[in-house]
Amino acid sequence: MPSTLRKLALQALTHIGVLFAVLILMVVSLGATGFSDNQLRAQVSEELRALRQSLAQTTRDPIELERVVLDLRRERESFYGLDKPWYVRMPPQVLNVLRLDLGEARSVRTADGSRDVGAIVRERLPYTIGLLTTSLILTAVAGLLIGVRMATQVGSRLDRLLSFVGAVSSALPAWWLGILLILFLAYRLQLLPSGGMYSTPPPADGWPRALDLGYHAILPILTLTLVGIGPYAYAVRTMTVTAAQEDHVQLARAKGLDEGQVTRRHILRVAAPPIVTGLILSLGGSLGGSILVETIFRWQGMGQLYFEVAAGQPDEAVIVALTFVFTLIYVVSRFALDIIYVLLDPRVRYG
C-alpha cells in the first residue's frame, strides 16, 4: 500500500506538470503568434471608432479631435497592456492563476456586474458541469447496455446495424448535429426551445425555475449524448468481446452458471477498467465539444464564455482562467481514473 500511494503521488505530480505545460503553451500560442495583440488592437480600434463618431458631433476642430483620440488610444493601449510586449504582459497572469488569483476581466461581467474573473467562472461553471455530467451519465448507461448487447450477438444483424450507427455517431460534429436538432425538434416540431437557459419572461425562483432550466437543457444534453454514445458503445462491445474469450469465462459457463452471472461477474468485472478508462477519457472530448454546443444553444456556461472572449471581445485574463479550469477538470478526472483503476483491478501495480 505505501508503494501504491507513492506511485499515486508521483502520478499527481505528473498531472500537475501537464497543467503547467498547457498554460505555458497557451500563453506562447496567444502571444508569439500575435493573436492576442491583434485581437486587442482591433478591440481598441473599434472603441476609438465609436468614440470618434461621438466626439465629431461636438468637436469642430479636427486637430483637437485627433489629439483627444490619440490620447485615448494611448490610454486604452495602456489599459489592455499593449504598451508592453506579450512575454512581459502575459506570464504574470499565469502565475496569478496558479495562485488562484484570477484577477479582473476587461470585457465580461457577472449578472450582478462584477468584473472578478473568479466570480465569472463560478457563475458559469455549474451550468457547464451540469451539461457534461448529465450527458456523461447517459452516455455511460446507454453505451454499456448497447455495447454488452452487441457483444452477446457478434456478427448478427443487430451487431452490424449498431456498429454502423456507432461509426456514424462518432463522425458527427457536435455543432452540426446540434443545428439539425434545433431545426427538427425546435422549429419543425416545436417540441423544445431552440436555445437559451430560461423562458421569456423567466420563472420565479424555486422548482418552476429549475424545471424550466432542465427543459432548456434537453437539446444540448441530447446533442452531447448522441455524439458520444456511438464510439463508447462500440468500445464497450470490443472490450467485452475480448474479455468474453478468456479461459475463466469458458470455465464459468462449463460450471453451469447462467449467462447473466457470467456477464456480470466474469466479463464486465474484467472489462471494467478499460471501459471506465474510455469513459473518463471521453470527458476531454466533451470539454471541447461543450464550447461549440453551448454557443449554438446560447447556453450561458464556460464554453460559450470561452467563445465570447476568444472570438468576440478578447480578454486574456478570462482566457487564461478558463484554460486553467478546463485543464484542471481534465487533470482531476485523470487522477481519479488512476485511483479507480486500483480499486477496480487489484492486479494493477504502478511501477
pLDDT in tens, 237-255: 888 887 777 777 778 778 7
Short-list 43, 103, 110, 101, CA closest to 300: 110
User: Is residue 328 within 8 Å of 128, Cβ to Cβ?
Assistant: no
Q: What is the mean pLDDT of residues 322-351?
A: 73
Specify the 3-state DSSP secondary structure of 222: helix
Confidence at residue 215, expressed as pLDDT on a 0 to 100 scale: 92
Q: What is the mean pLDDT of residues 305-311?
A: 80
Specify the 3-state DSSP secondary structure of 116: strand
Confidence at residue 217, expressed as pLDDT on a 0 to 100 scale: 92
Short-list 323, 293, 318, CA closest to 308: 318
- Nearest-5° Cα angle at 197, 134 to 284: 40
Confidence at residue 52, expressed as pLDDT on a 0 to 100 scale: 79
Among 140-149, 204-213, 254-263, name the one with the lowest average pLDDT: 254-263
What's the mean pLDDT when you consider all of the chain? Answer: 80
Short-list 297, 295, 300, 287, CA closest to 328: 287
Confidence at residue 141, expressed as pLDDT on a 0 to 100 scale: 87
Confidence at residue 1, expressed as pLDDT on a 0 to 100 scale: 56
Q: What is the mean pLDDT of residues 177-185?
A: 92
Percent of the chain with pLDDT over 70: 94
Band of pLDDT at residue 202, cut at 50, 70 and 90:
confident
Q: What is the mean pLDDT of residues 139-143?
A: 87
Q: How far apart are CA 103 and CA 318, in angstroms?
A: 9
* Buried/exposed code over 179-199 (b: 16+ C-beta within 10 A; e: otherwise): eebbeebbeeeeebbbbebee
Band of pLDDT at residue 348, cut at 50, 70 and 90:
low
pLDDT digits (tens, 9 = 90+) for 145-164: 888 778 777 778 888 888 88
- The class (CATH top level) of 123-344 is mainly alpha
pLDDT digits (tens, 9 = 90+) for 46-85: 778 877 777 777 777 777 778 878 888 888 888 777 788 8
Confidence at residue 351, expressed as pLDDT on a 0 to 100 scale: 47
Confidence at residue 345, expressed as pLDDT on a 0 to 100 scale: 64
Confidence at residue 285, expressed as pLDDT on a 0 to 100 scale: 64
User: Is residue 106 within 8 Å of 78, Cβ to Cβ?
Assistant: no
Give the burial class of 3: count Cβ atoms within 10 A of its Cβ; 0-12 exposed, 13-18 middle, 19 or more buried: exposed
Q: DSSP state, 104?
A: B
Residue 306 has pLDDT above 50, yes or no: yes
